[in-house]
Each structure stands twice: as C-alpha cells, then as structure tokens.
Amino acid sequence: MAVLNAFGKYTVSPSLSFVGVLDYLLAGDKNQDPAPVLPTARSDNSSYDRSSVQLTQLAAVYQRKLSNTVYSRFSFGLLERGYGGASAEILWTLNASNFAFGLEVNEVKKRDYDDPFEFVDYTATTGHGSVYWDTGYKGVSAQLDVGKYLAGDWGGTVTLSRYHANGWDTSLSATLTEANKDEQLKLGLRVSIPLGWVAPTTTAQKSTLRLGGISGDAGARLNVSDRLYPKVRDAGDQRVYDSWGEFWK
C-alpha cells in the first residue's frame, strides 16, 4: 500500500499547537482484513481506505517544560487515523546521564470508517512506561516500552534507533505481548525524514514512513505525534534550535 501524506501545523504559542494530517491512498488493496482473534484494534486498518482522501489527524497538542529535567505533553482530538481521544505524557531526563524515563497514558475511542468525526463502539485505555538510553555511539539509542496495548494485551517493545547527522532517523522495533508470545515477534521499521530538506525554511517537523509493525491486533500501539523524547533529543541539534530547541530552554 502506498500513501501520500499532507501535514499541517499551526502554532498558537510556544506551548500550544494544532496539527492535521491528510492521507491520499495512491495504491493498495482495500480489502485485506484478516479474521480477528483479539478485539479489533488494528486488523480493520483497510476499512479506513474506503476513501482515497482521509483526515488522519486533527488534534491540539500542549507541551510544557515543568523543570530543568521534566517535560510534559497533552494531546486531544483525532490523534491518528484509527483513534481519537486524549493522550498525556511525562518525560524525566537525568542530568549528566544518557538515560531518560517516560510515562504515557491514553484514553481513546475507535473512529468511524466513513465519517472522520464519528466514532464506533470501541474504547481503549492504554499506557506505557518507557526507558530511553542514548548509547553515545554513532547516534544510536535504545528504548524499552512496557505496558498495555490497544487490544488490551500486555507486553513490551524494544526499539533501536539511529539519529543521523543530516536529521534522518531510522529505527527497528520488536514487540512481544501475551497475545503473540507463541508466535514470532512483531517487527517494525520506521524512517523519519526532516521536512527541512524540502521546506523553504528551517523546521523541526519530520515526515515518517512505517513498514511492518502497524497492522494486526497484537502489540498495536497508539500512533501519537509529538512524543517527547525525540523532541527533547532533537532540541540539542543546532540546525533546528531556532524552530524548537529554544522552547525547551
């Protein structure tokens, strides 16, 4: 399946912004849903492809630095193409350390397949505790997330990422939950490309391509934009300092 994204962001203040994403389906099979075993958290993804143009995201995002080492985020609205609701996150970084710790809680409801502003009768409360480790070796970092996923299964995800000097970010993840413990790991690949490569001005925003790990009900996690750790990490990059890093001062 090939999808073209159109991304928009309006910043009201350094702490508050509104984000929106439109998806345009270029190619792909719109009828690929497997028979569900768990609650249908992701296995109905192709049902959202009935229309070639989709309002994937329309949400308000509030972010604030609470102290020198503590950051917070609250998002509300249509958080991603499958779910809408509220998401709260807190990140604690350690001075003179390569480690950081995060906690995220989400209360969401599944969106309707046809009307982008309606919902179906499925709600989920999810949450994860996270440990981040900057290895200090060629931009490589490791992340461990443990918690409850969208289908109600409990488990964990290990992610290895590399942050490149040109702003590109690539990562490989492996997820194991109580729902897929007798099967192979759920693997995913993500590539984030800085929009500054094509935008006329310097920007910290990125376009993300995901392969694998995004379909199926086991180990399905909410796709929330503007999670804190990548933002705090990127704030140390002088090339995006003027557009984002100054906010975290």
Does the structure show a pLDDT above 70 at 211?
yes
pLDDT at 46: 82
Share of the chain above pLDDT 90, in %: 48
User: In whole angstroms, how far apart are CA 138 and each of 29, 107, 141, 161?
Assistant: 39, 37, 9, 10
DSSP 230: H
Contact assessment for residue 143 and residue 133, using Cβ atoms and an 8 Å cutoff: yes
Does the structure show a pLDDT above 70 at 249?
no
Helix/strand/coil for 232: helix
178: pLDDT confidence band, cut at 50, 70 and 90?
A: very high
Rg of the chain (C-alpha set): 18
Does the structure show a pLDDT above 50 at 177?
yes
How far apart are alpha carbons 232 and 229 in whole angstroms? 5
Residues 6+ apart with CB under 8 A from 148: 125, 126, 127, 128, 154
Residues 7-66 have pLDDT tens digits of: 677 888 878 888 877 666 555 544 444 444 688 999 888 888 777 778 889 999 999 999
User: Given the structure tokens 């920007």, which residue do they identify?
Assistant: 203
| 93-107 average pLDDT score | 93
Higher pLDDT, 219 or 202: 219
In DSSP terms, 188 is beta-bridged to 173
| 167-178 average pLDDT score | 91
**Domain limits, the chain:** 63-248
pLDDT at 193: 81
